[in-house]
Amino acid sequence: MSDLPAASLAGVTKRYGDAVALGPIDLDVPASRTTVLLGPSGCGKSTLLRLLNGLIAPDAGAVRVLGAAVTPASVEGLRRRVGYVIQEGGLFPHLTARGNVTLLARWLRRPPAEVDARVAELAALARLPTALLDRHPGELSGGQRQRVALMRALMLDPEMLLLDEPLGALDPMVRAELQRDLRGVFRALGKTVVLVTHDLREARHFGDLVVLLRDGRVAQQGTLAMLEGAPADGFVRDFLGAQTDPPAGP
Amino acid sequence: MRGSWAALLAGCVALGCAPRAVRVGSKNFTEGVILGEVAARACATGGATTEHRRQLGGTAVLWRALRAGEIDVYPEYTGTLAAELLRGVDARDLAGMRRALAREGVAMSAPLGFNNTYALGVPEPLAAARGLRALGDLRGHPGLALGLSHEFLDRADGWPGLRARYGLPQRDVRGMDHDLAYRALSAGAIQVTDLYTTDAEIAWHHLRVLADDRAYFPEYSAVLLYRADLARRAPGCVRALESLGGSLDAATMIDLNDRVKRRRRTESAVAAAWLEEHRGLRTAVAAEGRAARVWLRTREHLAMVLASLLAAVLCAVPLGVAAARRPRLGALVLGAAGVLQTVPSLALLVLLIPVLGIGAAPAVAALFLYSLLPIVQNTVAGLRGIAPSLRESAEALGLPPSARLRLVELPLALPSILAGVKTAAVINVGTATLGAMVGAGGYGQPILRGIRLDSTATIMEGALPAAALALLTQALFALIERAAVPRPLRGGR
């Protein structure tokens, strides 16, 4: 594990109109570990993730990813070194699963044999039956679609993986299974992972490090055990408590 | 050796500069087409290659085409020249008219011999019984019932002026539809109606045309207008045209109109027969079958539709892409295309003539302009309708904008774009029938002719294939959609 952060935000603010969506915030994302961005909806966690991928630009402050500042000039190259998975997968409905996974590699004119080998490798890793590779997203289940989305994000063997509520739209059984498989993948690859969720159990499941956000700012960060052992304030205690304690009743 | 090269060169130059065919135009009514056909055939006997562009439209179209050199000859009436084209010249002053025309580079043939103006007609037996020969004779018969067309009744130079000039006493004067007037005449409900002096109906209903002995009605002598440079380019043709002067009297013209209108002969056959019988000029009449005719019209029609559609797709899709990316530009482009759509097609065609001449060019241009809106609109709608998550996914992959457009956005918008192209194509198939008005041919040709001759069968010869082509276009696009659009994008998920 390197001491250099894989990504960092320094004095970053992002506004939408008059509303501050994020910041001012300072944050380091450690390399080769899984960082979970946790918080209620509207706390700015998705905004933070989109800043890391250069999908949006900060109004103030600097974003650095994989050792480089995220600028319009650098962003395209950076994105190819950073995999991205969103809630419903964002798979292109006009392409097959294979077409989705290999779109960028084909555009970059990678040798077909290399591409095929990589797809087979990823299908095994993501536990997607290869027969499903020639189906269109509309013919796959929600869980299968997320496995394809993961494969697409990993295709070029990125140094960092960003996931925005990757399990959010799945039913509980599928969710539990995919959760296990995802963690297996993260452990096997040892990559820097940033995962957004509002689900505490998911944070517990994945997170080496948890960053709890509130109203666009960091409420507390550390291991989940640290947060639970010494909550920084009432919000942290309430957020952790609301999701762990079963409601008290007579 | 050198001499033979020079001869060859001269031959090539002569071929290259060989005078192009003499083009005769005609207005969109039967007499105009017959006269155009007579002129074209006479011209051909003078040694020129000729083509006849029939029923090009109204006076304005023909006049512009003549001056622009799109056509070389067309039949016109002195009254129209005086009233519409050369204001301030009297219709009876031929020398003055020739001088005014010369300034436009146009020459006028000797009058053909008949005057197609307004007149009043009376059934022959009645006219004979009452001794009616001239308009003045109506004064002695105040009890006669008149059925006049609405326009004639209202125009100052129509009934009101006529009544004043001749002091006509009739009280029973009704406005009615022209065709109904002939029926009322046969039924005896009216005894007098207005007509044009060379109407085929005069022969048909056995009417006597009352002479205008006080010269009340304007003079509408038929003449041939031709470009002044034609005398140099095709002197034989001009000699033949001039030799037609005085050869067609009103009775002959009525007969020729009647042969086409009532006896359903073609204008070509009627013109050829008259030239042979009365002028001793033998010209060939191509006996073309219906199938050959429809095939020719189909080719003309398809060429118009395909050329305009292709050009529209090449322009409108990029415009749509630009419009979808820049909302302000989008509003401008859609606004402009929308305005174009509101220009009536006939007006647009006529407006394009000074720029593009006559024939397929203005028709293709008009169809192209009409195709822009549906394609731009659907391209914009298709691109804007792409889910933000998909757009973002493409961006997050690290694809540059051009690749995102080509690999993701356009394929996703394809069903919408295709729907726009289909709409444009189906509209074009219908609108292209108007191309016949400016000499582009196509299915509009038989429709125009059928309307002119009041022949449903002829109209159907254009309308049915046009409808079939529209249906075929729909079916073709269904196939294209099936081939080009992946299953999941067809008709939603």
Residues from chain A that touch B400, judged by Cβ atoms under 8 A, are 76
> Which neighbouring-strand residues pair with B115?
B221
Confidence class of residue B14 from pLDDT cuts 50, 70 and 90?
very low
Inter-chain residue contact B488 with A94, CB threshold 8 Å: yes
**Which of B40-44, B177-181, B321-325 shows the lowest mean pLDDT across its residues?**
B177-181
Question: Residue written as tokens 């003078």?
Answer: B46
The ranges assigned to domains in chain A are 1-81+197-209+218-245
Q: Which chain B residues are closer than 8 Å to A95 by Cβ?
A: 486
What mean pLDDT comes out for the span A157-167? 91
pLDDT for the residue A1: 45
Distance from CA of A181 to the nearest CA of B (A): 22
Q: Do A88 and B412 touch (CB under 8 A)?
A: no
What pLDDT sits at residue A3? 64
Task: Give me the residue from B400, B408, B493 closest to A92, CB to CB.
Answer: B408
Closest in B399, B403, B489 to A94, CB measured: B489
Cβ-nearest to B488 among A76, A80, A136: A136
Record: contact A76-B398, CB cut-off 8 A? yes
CB-nearest partner of B392 from A76, A90, A103: A90
Least confident of A44-48, B184-188, B489-493: B489-493
Residues of A with CB under 8 A from a CB of B: 53, 55, 76-80, 84, 86-88, 90-95, 103-104, 107, 136-139, 152
Distance of residue B492 Cα from the nearest chain A Cα, in angstroms: 10
pLDDT higher than threshold 60 for residue B29:
yes
Tell me the nearest-neighbour CA distance from A55 into chain B, angstroms.
Answer: 7
Minimal Cβ distance to A55: which of B396, B407, B486: B396
- From chain B, pick out residues whose CB is under 8 angstroms from the CB of A88: 389
Distance CA B206, CA B61 (A): 35
DSSP conformational letter for B111: P
Instruction: Flag if B397 and A138 touch (Cβ within 8 Å).
Output: no
Where exactly are the structural domains of chain B?
A: 2-115+220-279, 118-209, 290-489
Q: Confidence band (pLDDT; 50, 70, 90) for B366?
A: very high
A50: closest CA of chain B, how far (Å): 9
For B399, the closest of A78, A95, A104 (CB atoms) is A104
Contact B394 A93 (CB under 8 A): no
CB spacing of B412 vs A80 below 8 angstroms: no
B399–A93 CB contact, under 8 Å: no
Give the per-residue pLDDT at B493.
36
What is the pLDDT confidence band of residue B11, given thresholds at 50, 70 and 90? Answer: very low
Q: What's the mean pLDDT in A31-55?
A: 90
What's chain A's Rg over C-alpha atoms? 18
Of B360, B366, B308, B359, which Cα lies nearest the Cα of B341?
B366
Considering only the top CATH level, what class is B2-115+220-279?
Answer: alpha beta
Q: Which of B392, B407, B414 shows the shortest C-beta gap to A103?
A: B407
Share of chain B above pLDDT 70, in %: 95
Q: How far is A73 from chain B (nearest CA, A)?
A: 11
Look at residue B35 and tell me whether its pLDDT is greater than 80.
yes
At residue A245, the pLDDT reads: 52
CA dist B17 and A191 (Å) reads 79
First to last CA, chain B: 78
Q: How many CB pairs under 8 A join A and B?
A: 67
Nearest CA in chain A to B411: A94
Packed helices B30-45 and B235-242: angle between N→C axes, nearest 10 degrees: 130
Compute the mean pLDDT over every residue in chain B, rounded to the nearest whole number. Answer: 87
Model confidence at A232, pLDDT cuts 50, 70, 90, reads confident
B interface toward A at CB cutoff 8 Å? 389-390, 392-400, 403, 407-408, 411-412, 414, 485-489, 493
Q: How many whole angstroms separate alpha carbon B270 and alpha carbon B261? A: 11
- Is the pLDDT at B320 greater than 80, yes or no? yes
Least confident of A122-126, A214-218, B15-19: B15-19
> Strand B222-227's sheet: what is its strand order?
B50-53, B22-25, B73-77, B222-227, B106-108
pLDDT score of B3? 46
> With bands split at pLDDT 50, 70 and 90, how would you rate the model's confidence at B93?
confident
Residues of B in contact with A94 (CB under 8 A): 411-412, 414, 485-486, 488-489
Say what the ipTM of the complex is.
0.87
This prediction has a pTM of 0.71
pLDDT at residue A250, as a whole number: 43
Give residue A248's pLDDT: 47
Question: What gap in Å lies between CA A49 and CA B144, rounded to an integer?
Answer: 96
Instruction: Give the closest of B389, B411, B487 to A136, CB-based.
Output: B487
Nearest C-alpha in B relative to A77: B398
d(Cα B33, Cα B52) in Å, to the nearest integer?
9
- Strand residues in chain A grouped as ranges (E): 5-16, 19-30, 34-38, 60-65, 68-69, 82-85, 160-164, 192-197, 209-214, 217-222
A215: alpha, beta or left, given left = phi > 0 and alpha = psi -120 to 50? left
pLDDT, position B8: 45
Q: Would you call B465 exposed, middle or buried from its count of C-beta atoms within 10 A (0-12, 13-18, 19+)?
A: buried
B392 CB neighbours in chain A (<8 A) are 55, 86, 90
Q: Residues of A with CB below 8 A from B397's CB? A: 79-80, 84, 103-104, 152
> Which pLDDT value is given to residue A244?
58
| B13: confidence class by pLDDT, cuts 50, 70, 90 | very low
CA distance A79 to A100: 16
Q: Which amino acid is at B408?
A: V
B493 contacts on A by Cβ (under 8 Å): 93, 138
Q: In chain B, which residues have their Cβ closer than 8 Å to the Cβ of A109?
A: none
Q: Do A92 and B489 touch (CB under 8 A)?
A: no
pLDDT of residue B16: 41
Q: What is the pLDDT of residues B255-272, one digit of tens each?
A: 999 888 888 888 999 999
Measured between CA atoms, how close is A250 to chain B, in angstroms? Answer: 45
* Residue numbers in A near B411 (CB within 8 A): 92, 94
Alpha helix (H) ranges present in A35-96? 45-52, 75-79
Q: What is the pLDDT of residues A112-130, one digit of tens each?
A: 999 999 999 999 988 899 9
pLDDT of residue A249: 43
The stretch A224-245 carries a mean pLDDT of 83
Binary contact (B493, A152; C-beta < 8 A): no
- For residue B395, what is the nearest residue in chain A, using CA coordinates? A55
- Of B389, B403, B412, which is closest to A94 when you measure between CB atoms? B412
Is B290-489 in the same CATH topology as B2-115+220-279? no
Crossing angle of helices B327-342 and B360-384, in 10° steps, is: 140
Rounded average pLDDT over B2-20: 46
Give residue-wise pLDDT tens across range B302-318.
999 999 999 999 999 99
Partner-chain residue, chosen from A79, A86, A138, that has the shortest CB–CB distance to B389: A86
Using the structure block, give the residue that is written with the tokens 């009532």.
B262
pLDDT at B227 over 60: yes
pLDDT above 90 (res B414): yes
Confidence at residue B201, expressed as pLDDT on a 0 to 100 scale:
84
| Spatial distance between the Cα atoms of B162 and B447, rounded to a whole number of angstroms | 37
At residue B196, does pLDDT exceed 70?
Answer: yes
Tokens of B303: 């060429």
pLDDT for the residue B9? 43
Taking contacts as CB-CB distances below 8 angstroms, the residues of chain A near B394 are 92
What CATH architecture does domain B290-489 belong to? Orthogonal Bundle (1.10)
CATH tag, A1-81+197-209+218-245: 3.40.50.300
Is pLDDT of B19 > 90?
Answer: no
> Which member of A104, A136, A138 has the closest CB to residue B398?
A104
| pLDDT tens by residue, B383-403 | 999 998 899 899 999 899 999
Class of domain B118-209: alpha beta
Q: Are B215 and B135 in contact (CB under 8 A)?
A: no
pLDDT of A218 strictly over 60: yes
Nearest-CA residue of chain B relative to A101? B397
Q: Which residue of B has its CA nearest to A136?
A: B488
Q: Which residues of A touch B399 (CB under 8 A)?
A: 103-104, 107
